[in-house]
Structure 1
Amino acid sequence: MNIVGDSEHFKQPFDHDEEYVSRAETKREIAIYQELGKQLVALSKSQINKLELDELLYDNVLKAKTIRINTEAYRRHLQYIGKIMRNVDIEALQADLKNVLNQNRNESSKLNVAEKTKDALLSGGDNAIQALIEQHPELDRQKLRQLVRQTNKELTKKPDEASKSATELVKYLRTEIAE
């Protein structure tokens, strides 16, 4: 039996080329860049400022925030951001992005700790203040007592409204208690 065709005719250019990258692999890589671009666009401006982005990428990420989502222009702009990101060190950017997102989790956990401490101070009075100062000697006893007293006064007058002193107390606790 004779096979029609020569095996040399059926060889592809990528059969012997080690550096050949298929179109499908290129498209997967581009999709990764675009997904990372979407994550960058979803960040707030202060978070974007914390990242070390080159000027072109930074400007285009901020510009994407002005374009309405679910439009063709937004999709094309994300593609352009993906194209720009081909020249960026992706591993370093992903590590920076992870740090920025984790930093926000730490901030929210600090806020939760400060809120719980505030509630304990409001319900515990001077004994709670004393216990807190024993744990954190850097705190100012007089300022704590004053803020707790003002917060209790405001909450007895208007229990439905947010207390300005309570907000100040939480801010003070967040900045002073280092964990």
Structure 2
Amino acid sequence: MGEDLFSDSDSEFDDYKSKTQLKKEMLALVKLGEQVVELGVAALKKIPLDTEVAEAIDIARNMNRKKPSYRRQLQFIGKLLRNRDEEDVAAITQALENLQGQQYQLKAHFHKLETLRDKLVDQGDDALQSLLQDYPQLDRQRLRQWIRQAKKEREQNKPPKAYREIFQYLKQEIQE
């Protein structure tokens, strides 16, 4: 009889969460809500939200972020999320992670294009030849003209118009 008191069978304490654990979970939901509030309009449409949460997020998006009312609204969003099923919150979290991953990939791609552009302007025809081996669809003549213009603009301390045009052209032609 004494052994049953300490057994690992289902008991009322299995679902017990400490006050600290509950607080951490609530703060995580408030943080999740804040991340969703800070998204742009197009990205926000990709997040699966029910109407009540979507309305609360829309209200927060239109508030002054420095006012205490904004913090209270974020707390309210956290409370709404806490009252949702775990699957709903997991779907929101997953959609947010997917968006952040896409943004990271886009930033990495832009950084690569900026590096290619800088290399073209600094090294000239050698860098252009190397780039054309990797991307034969690029227009050699147009790029050479922009490279010359970019160097000339740099020497004369003019606005970097050709420099920007090289980046825009590379962004349009090199998609990964």
Letter in 2 for 1:116: T
> In the alignment, is residue 175 of structure 1 matched against residue 172 of structure 2?
yes
Is contact 1:51–1:100 with CA below 8 Å preserved after alignment?
no
Residue 141 of structure 1 corresponds to 140
Give the aligned partner of residue 43 of structure 2: 47
Paired residues, what number?
163
1:120 matched to 2:119? The reply is yes
Deviation of residue 77 (structure 1)?
0.8
Query: What is the letter of the counterpart of residue 105 of structure 1?
Result: Y
Q: Which runs of 5+ in 1 are unaligned?
A: 1-15
Q: Which residue of 2 aligns with 1:165?
A: 162
| 2:97 equivalent to 1:98 | yes
Cα 1:51–1:164 shift into 2, 3 Å: farther
Structure 1 residues 125 and 26, CA gap change in structure 2 (3 angstroms): closer
Q: 1:126 to 1:22 in 2, by over 3 A?
A: closer
The aligned residue for residue 4 of structure 1 is none
CA deviation profile, 1:70-121 (whole Å, cap 9, x unmatched)? 5331122112212332336111211211121122222221121111111111
> Judging changes above 3 Å, is the alpha-carbon distance between structure 1 residues 165 and 60 closer, same or farther for their aligned structure 2 residues?
farther
Does the 8 A contact of 1:40 with 1:48 survive in 2? yes
Q: Distance in 2 between matches of 1:147 and 1:53?
A: 47
Q: Which runs of 5+ in 2 are unaligned?
A: 1-10
Offset at residue 36 of structure 1 (A): 0.9
Question: Relative to structure 1, is the Cα distance of residues 39 and 152 closer, same or farther in structure 2, using a 3 angstrom cutoff?
Answer: same
- Between Structure 1 and Structure 2, whose CA radius of gyration is higher? 1
- State the match for 2:108 in structure 1: 109
- Residues 33 and 78 in structure 2, CA contact (< 8 A), matched pair in contact too: yes
Does the CA contact (< 8 Å) of 1:41 and 1:62 recur in 2?
Answer: yes
For 1:9, the equivalent position in structure 2 comes to none
Paired with 1:139 and 1:55, the residues of 2 have a C-alpha distance of: 47
RMSD: 2.8
| TM-score between the two structures when normalised by the length of structure 2 | 0.74
